[in-house]
């Protein structure tokens, strides 16, 4: 099992560009999450999904969108990137309550 | 909404000293989870506590869940340089579908 796989690992975006952060899990977990972590800070929930076809907003959803067409995939879309979106993004999945995290995407918006 | 607070925010210790981080929730929790994040890494699940007053040990790490199920602690005995990282607690919201994470305690260990 690969667990939770995130791509890319690093990305530099220019202000106003868009991109999709990919996340896939092979554990057949129903729950999936996107968090962002600013330097030296905790985890803030952006969006989450309790199953295919269902998504919901977390604490900081503005500027992001998600979709969940399959159990395995939960991509995060950034539209019109802003410097405030410079952060490390973690995808996670869950079955029995605890989160299994991917290795993260380090995004810089310049 | 539910809040989970952790103290201290930072802790610097000499190798061999003990370390404790505390976690307090504004609401009663069905369980409390602990994660460790190494510098530059991703959070890794350590343990889940479910029962009131529960104590669990993993080698030099001791985890406690309070009697009221609103607080928890993580104690590391005789820290080593491999213990360096940020320790997060997290509790599920009432719906059970999402976690609220504390802000974490960043531990540095001087050799």
- pLDDT tens readout for residues A85-97: 999 999 999 987 8
- What is the rounded CA–CA span in Å between residue A78 and residue A58? 15
Residue B1 pLDDT > 90, yes or no?
Answer: no
Q: B61-96, pLDDT tens digit by residue?
A: 999 999 999 999 999 999 999 999 999 999 998 887
- Closest CB to A97: pick one of B41, B43, B92: B92
Mean pLDDT of B39-45: 97
Model confidence at A40, pLDDT cuts 50, 70, 90, reads confident
Q: Does A33 contact B44 at a Cβ distance shorter than 8 Å?
A: no
Token look-up 């076809």 returns A53
Q: To probe the interface with B, which of A40, A42, A104 has the most B CB atoms within 10 Å? A: A42
Q: How far is B37 from chain A (nearest CA, A)?
A: 10
Q: B9-41, pLDDT tens digit by residue?
A: 999 999 999 999 999 999 999 999 999 999 999
Contact B30, B90 (CB under 8 A): no
What are the distances in angstroms from CA B37 to CA A65, A73, B55? 26, 24, 22
Contact A41, A59 (CB under 8 A): no
Looking at residue B96, its pLDDT comes to 79
Structure tokens at A92: 């996670």
Chains A and B form CB pairs within 8 A to the count of: 43
């Amino acid at each position: 099992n690969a667990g939770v796989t995130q791509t890319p690992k690093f990305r530099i975006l220019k202000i106003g560009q868009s991109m999709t952060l990919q996340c896939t899990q092979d554990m057949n977990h129903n729950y999936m999450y996107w968090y962002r972590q600013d330097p030296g800070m905790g985890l803030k929930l952006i969006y989450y999904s309790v199953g295919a076809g269902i998504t919901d907003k977390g604490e900081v959803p503005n500027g992001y969108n998600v979709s969940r067409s399959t159990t395995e995939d939960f991509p995060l879309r950034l539209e019109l990137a802003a410097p405030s979106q410079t952060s490390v993004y973690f995808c996670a999945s869950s079955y029995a309550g605890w989160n299994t995290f991917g290795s993260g995407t380090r995004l810089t918006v310049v | 909404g539910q809040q989970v607070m952790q103290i201290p925010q930072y802790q610097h210790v000499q190798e061999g000293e003990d370390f404790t981080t505390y976690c307090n929730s504004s609401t009663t929790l069905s369980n409390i989870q602990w994660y460790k994040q190494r510098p530059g890494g991703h959070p890794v699940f350590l343990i889940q506590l479910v029962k009131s007053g529960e104590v669990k040990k993993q080698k030099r790490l001791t985890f406690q869940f309070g009697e009221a199920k609103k607080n928890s602690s993580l104690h590391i005995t005789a820290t080593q340089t491999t213990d360096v990282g940020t320790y997060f607690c997290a509790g599920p919201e009432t719906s059970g579908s999402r976690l609220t994470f504390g802000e974490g305690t960043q531990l540095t260990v001087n050799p």
